[in-house]
Each structure stands twice: as structure tokens, then as C-alpha cells.
Structure 1
């Protein structure tokens, strides 16, 4: 990842890679959100089931296009959040190590840089995340139906009915979730790639990027699933009073396993998202930077 190019070029290549990965994987994200919002009683009464069953159910009952619900705010989100968190990673990492061109940057410095860029990016992009989740959650079988006609209508309706501050609903768990997942993704990808390149037979090629991307995605899901569930529930259901309230009610009503509800869907989503994004990012930066 180049650090000597202009920030604008780094930002736009990062945003492009993130948006492409979003388009490819948003059906998995829609299934993940539906699973995470599913209450225990609904699941027992005949909920959607697993990831594949959820995808089939959404396509059959709401149409295939429903799997791409939230794609417009999803692209808004990735353009802002993806561009900032990925684009700022190298400059922030260089800042933390004093701008030195060290070949073996410590894992701690990588994690600290990724945590920082994750927080900055999601504070800016939280409204796009909220609208994306609201659109994805607004399905035939969901309890709360808002019937937004689209992304712009959702932004306008939320501001009119709930106030502009509502666009930052769930910011607490979203900061936690995105800072943690960003650290797991960017820092672990950086670290995995560095480790692989020291092994015999490995070069800076597509296979190395593929393995590093899969490793980054798996760690991100393992570490970030609990806060991801809380974030989705708070954004999808405005009755929760706070992050703690959502956390406590989820444990009380659905049990600890609820924090890993949709885990397989989440791994398929984040694992494939990371592979596609990092492969695209590496190739795009080689072309344009």
C-alpha cells in the first residue's frame, strides 16, 4: 500500500475497492441483518433459519431485488467510511511510528492506526450506516415496517420524524464495532501479508492477497460479531434506550448465543468482502498509484 501518493488518489482507490466489494456482497449482508434482528420467539415460531434459507426466503417473498435493499446508502457508506478508514490507514500508521520507513512495523502500531481510522471514519459515515440497516431491515416479516421509498426518502423521513440527531443512532456500538473490525481487518491483513512474504515461495501476488484477506475476514467476524449484533438491533429497532439497554435485553431475551446469530452469514459476508476489497485495492493501486 503506497503512502507516497496524494491522499486524494489513495482515498479514491480505497473508496472504489470498498464500493465494488459492497456491490458483490450486499445480499449476504442483508441476510445477516435479518438474522441478527430476528427475535428468539420469532425464530422458534418459524423464523428464516440460516443464511441460505434467509436469502431464499427474501428472494421468494420479496423479490430478488430485495437482497440489494440498502445498496445506495451502502455505497454512500463505503465511499465515505471505506475511503476514509482505508485511505487514512497508511498516513496514520506513519504518524504513530514517527514517519520512519521501518520494514517491520509492530503489530501494536498497526492496530492503533486501524482503531483510530475506524473511529474517524464511522463518526462521519454513521448516517449512511443507519439508513442502510433501516432499509435492509424493512422486510415483509419484520415487526417494525417503515416503508421508506429509497435512501433519500429514508434520510428525510428520519430527520423529520426523529430529528437530525437520530442519524447518529447507534453511534456508540458502531464506533466500537467499526474500530474493532477495522483493526481486525486492516492490521491483520497487513500482518498476515508481512508474515506470508517472509515465507519461502510466497510473493506479493494474488494468492498472498487472497490468504491474507481471508485471515483478516475471519478475525474480524470472531472479534466483532457481538458489537455488530448490538449495532444492527439498535439501528433496526429504535425502542432500545442505549447500547447497554440493547446489550442487557439481548442477553435476557435471547441469550448469549444471540451475539453470534448470523455468524456464518457474517463470515461469508465479511470474509468475501475482505477478499474482494483487498484484491481489488491491490490491483487498482498498482494501476493508478
Structure 2
């Protein structure tokens, strides 16, 4: 079993790597959130309205268009809306999910997790650490999504002055329990994505290292990180959309209500809205995070 000092070292290394990846990729995440919050524009909208804020969903035709639209209409800094709670989230969530992964994996295999470990043990360990980490970090995720969503034409303006003001305002106006709004889909999303990321990265890396010509180097880490990101987006996109919509719009009564209304009003394709932005975000995020983590581990572990 890992010692407290070993856990602390992995926790802080993982937290640093996750925060660094967050800073690099949050514009893509902001675009993804805006795309996921889009709803079908009412057919009765006149052309003039569709060309203005009411037709935002139509005018932002994709990831790049959304990024350019935000930068033009709200300023470049708006692309980094939510960076402070994003860093709060990554410090807690990133540190816990990776820091706990090896000891939890060892628990599932009944000892020290060395050598070949079954894929099912890796998946179970990643699911477990994903749940634990996001239960702790959900308030930071909520504030991050709300700050990113604020400013969109068809979203209720909350006008938070910053992350700390958002935490305080939510507690004052909605109660402390509101900080865990969207916990259901967030637990599902992060447990699934964490399993897809950590277990697949672990599996890809192990697979590549068995192939001739592959060593434990940057190229292997890069390929494994891309594979992990692709699996995470394919598997986790539907619950990610539901999570973003619940956190960005408090009118949904429950996870099932959000899922049902999204399916009814926007169709099944809505669950993969922002897919390209999500893959660009999570794919690049995984590459940066795992590359950074591997280098930091070599320095300090």
C-alpha cells in the first residue's frame, strides 16, 4: 500500500499536470460548453433575429466559429472564463483521481499493482477514483460551467464578478446544496471518462511498450494520451452534454428530465453537440496532462 508521502507526491504531481493542461486548453472547453448549451432556434424567428443574439446557435457553426465569435463579441479574455474554478477543479479532481488510482488498483488486485494488471481491474479502479474525486470537486465544476456559460445570448445572465463571488452568490441565493447541482450526471460523466482516460492510457502504454521499437518515452506517452482522449470523448459525450446543460440551466428537475427534454427538443444528435470541440479539448488535454505528469514523475518520484 502506498505511503502517505508517496500519495502526496503523486497527488501534487497530478494536480500540477492537470492545472497546466487546463490553462492550455480551456478556450476549447469554453467553446465546447457554449456548443453543448445550444438549443434549436425556434422556427418562428425572423431573419433579423436569427442574425443577432437570438440566432447565436446558427451563427456559431462549429468549434472555430464559436471561438472566433466569443473573442469578437466578448473579448479574447472571455475564452478563459472559468479558469479560476477550472484550476480549483483540476487541483482537487486531477490530484485525487490520479493520486488514488494506483492504491485503488492495488486494492482491486489484492496487493501491489505491479506487472500486468487486468483491464477490468484498471477500469474498476478508474471508475472508483473518478467518483470520489468529482464528489469532492463538483462545486468547482458548477462554478466553472456557469462562468463559461455567462455571456451567451440565450442564457440567463448571472453576472458573477469572479469565482469566489459565484460560490458565495450560489450559496446565498440557492443554498449550499446547490453547489452539487448536476452531481448525478457529473458522477456518471467523470467516472466514465476517468475510466476511459486512465484505464485506456494505462492499457495503451502497456501495449505499446510490448511492441518492438517502443520505449517509455515522449512518443509513447503522446500516442497513449491521444488514444485515451478519443475513448473518453466517444464514451462520455452524452453525459457531458447533460452535465453542462444541468449546470448551465437550473430549470431542469433531474438528470432524467434533462436527458428526456434534450432528446425530445433537440434530437439524439444533441448528445454529441460540441464533439469536435470536446475531442480537441480532451485529446489535447490528455496529451498535455500525461506528458507533463510523466516528466514531473521522473523528476520528483
Runs of 4+ in 1 over 4 A off after TM superposition: 42-45
Tell me how far 1:103 sits from its aligned partner.
1.0
| Match 1:272 to one of 278, 284, 294 | 284
1:36 aligned partner: 36
CA contact (8 A) 1:85 1:118 kept: yes
Q: Does structure 1 residue 174 correspond to structure 2 residue 194? A: no
CA distance in 2, matches of 1:147, 1:181: 31
Instruction: State the secondary structure of the residue aligned to 1:21.
Output: helix
2:248 aligned partner: 236
| Match 2:64 to one of 52, 55, 74 | 52
Tell me how far 1:101 sits from its aligned partner.
4.4
Tell me how far 1:47 sits from its aligned partner.
3.7
1:15 aligned partner: 15
2:224 aligned partner: 212
Tell me how far 1:44 sits from its aligned partner.
8.4
1:66 aligned partner: 78
CA contact (8 A) 1:62 1:140 kept: no
| Match 2:129 to one of 117, 126, 137 | 117
Tell me how far 1:53 sits from its aligned partner.
0.1
CA distance in 1, matches of 2:116, 2:55: 48
Q: TM-score, normalised by structure 1?
A: 0.97
1:78 aligned partner: 90
CA distance in 2, matches of 1:110, 1:240: 34
* Aligned residue pairs, count: 288
5+ residue gaps, structure 1: none
5+ residue gaps, structure 2: 42-53
Tell me how far 1:43 sits from its aligned partner.
6.1
Tell me how far 1:6 sits from its aligned partner.
1.4
1:95 aligned partner: 107
CA contact (8 A) 1:43 1:49 kept: no
Q: Does structure 1 residue 149 correspond to structure 2 residue 161? A: yes
2:146 aligned partner: 134
Superimposed CA distance per residue, residues 113-156 of structure 1 (whole angstroms, 9 cap, x where no aligned partner) = 00000000000000000000000000142321101000000000
2:238 aligned partner: 226
CA distance in 2, matches of 1:173, 1:110: 22
Tell me how far 1:40 sits from its aligned partner.
1.1
Instruction: State the secondary structure of the residue aligned to 2:58.
Output: coil
Task: Pick closer, same or farther for the CA change 1:277–1:159 going to 2, 3 Å.
Answer: same
1:251 aligned partner: 263
Q: TM-score, normalised by structure 2?
A: 0.93
1:108 aligned partner: 120
Tell me how far 1:46 sits from its aligned partner.
2.7
2:215 aligned partner: 203
Task: Pick closer, same or farther for the CA change 1:263–1:249 going to 2, 3 Å.
Answer: same
1:194 aligned partner: 206
Q: CA RMSD in A?
A: 1.4
CA distance in 2, matches of 1:74, 1:49: 25
Greater Cα shift, 133-142 or 74-83: 133-142
Tell me how far 1:8 sits from its aligned partner.
0.8
CA distance in 2, matches of 1:114, 1:43: 41
Task: Pick closer, same or farther for the CA change 1:138–1:94 going to 2, 3 Å.
Answer: same
Superimposed CA distance per residue, residues 212-271 of structure 1 (whole angstroms, 9 cap, x where no aligned partner) = 000000000000000000000000000000000000000010000000000000000000
